[in-house]
Amino acid sequence: MVRKWLVTGCSSGLGRALAVAAARAGDDVAITARDTAALSELVSAWPERVFPIPLELRDAAQCEEAVRAAAGQLGGIDVLVNNAGAGLFGAVEEVSDAEVRDQLETLVVGPWRLIRLVLPLMRARGRGHIVNVSSVAGRMTFPGLGAYVAGKHALEGMSRTLAVEVASQGIRVTVLEPGGFSTRYGTSLAESGRRMPEYTAVTAETLAGTRGMADNPGIGRPEDFAARLFDIVRADGPTPLCVPIGDDAYAYLEAVEQALREELTAARALTQGRSPSPATAP
């Protein structure tokens, strides 16, 4: 079966690796980037399988045109991969209203919009697969990345709800939670316009680690990410809704789950296990 993909954020990193993997597998792929010149190498390598489309996720009209163009070029859309994203570094107090809105437009509103646009097409075909690329940050926190963490948490919450809503329509939903991968995410990470010395010590490690991801040979390769995504899309039976990608992702999230269990136990003891205070006693 030749699958028809719409993949966002293909100029580099995970999206580019996925586009290559799909084309090599004989699938047809509509690939997007803000500047399609960054996609020329992919188009030259697979001119009959790869179709470049300009897309700025924060532009509603461009999103509509991108879905229309992809469906027209491919003859439908079987798989939507919401991969495009951007990061913002700054402590919660440092980040402005405008910066928060911009981050959430890219990480939540844009993907939500594309999903809304492709669902009627998938429903008409009686099948489809929506893949939202989140992060381990969708279930944990990193000091200095509050806006990014908020966006990924929101993306995962929406995805969990969507999965229940469309299950009876033959449409699958998958959330991928990559750990560390060697991409340009760290080098392209924007910094908030306001920086406060009160937060330097608590956020410095996050910034240094994120900036160094692109040149770190000890973390995941985009090609491995693409291979795991293909395993999920091609699986015949049911697959988990949320899938961590990378050994470090499992280590991170297992620690998060343990901490949440401990927190829940402590909360229960605090709210259900103590005697009423004198002020509230009958």
> Residues 155-201: pLDDT tens digits?
999 999 999 999 999 999 999 999 988 877 777 889 999 999 999 99
For residue 85, give its domain range. 4-249
The token pair at 231 is 């395993």
The answer to whether residue 177 is domain-embedded is: yes
The answer to whether residue 269 is domain-embedded is: no
The answer to whether residue 15 is domain-embedded is: yes
Q: pLDDT below 50 — which residues of the chain?
A: 282
Q: Closest by alpha carbon to 185, among 139, 156, 222?
A: 222
Q: Residue 148 CA to chain centroid, in angstroms?
A: 10
The token pair at 149 is 């963490």
The answer to whether residue 254 is domain-embedded is: no
Please report the pLDDT score of residue 215 as a whole number: 66
Q: What CATH code is carried by the domain that includes residue 53?
A: 3.40.50.720
The answer to whether residue 258 is domain-embedded is: no
Query: Helices (H), strands (E): how many in the chain?
Result: 10, 9
The answer to whether residue 90 is domain-embedded is: yes
Q: Which amino acid is at 215?
A: D
Which residue's entry shows tokens 């929506």?
A: 130
User: Which of the residues are catalytic?
Assistant: 134, 148, 152
Please report the pLDDT score of residue 250 as a whole number: 95
Please report the pLDDT score of residue 78 as a whole number: 97
The answer to whether residue 69 is domain-embedded is: yes
The H or E element spanning position 80 is strand 79-82
Please report the pLDDT score of residue 276 as a whole number: 52
Q: Which amino acid is at 96?
A: S
> Rounded to two decimals, what is the model's pTM?
0.93
Please report the pLDDT score of residue 85 as a whole number: 87
The answer to whether residue 106 is domain-embedded is: yes
Q: Identify whether the C-beta of residue 89 lies closer than 8 Å to the C-beta of residue 144.
A: yes
Q: CB-based burial of residue 278 (10 Å sphere; 0-12 exposed, 13-18 middle, 19+ buried)?
A: exposed
Q: Identify whether the C-beta of residue 139 lies closer than 8 Å to the C-beta of residue 154.
A: no
Question: How many domains, the chain?
Answer: 1
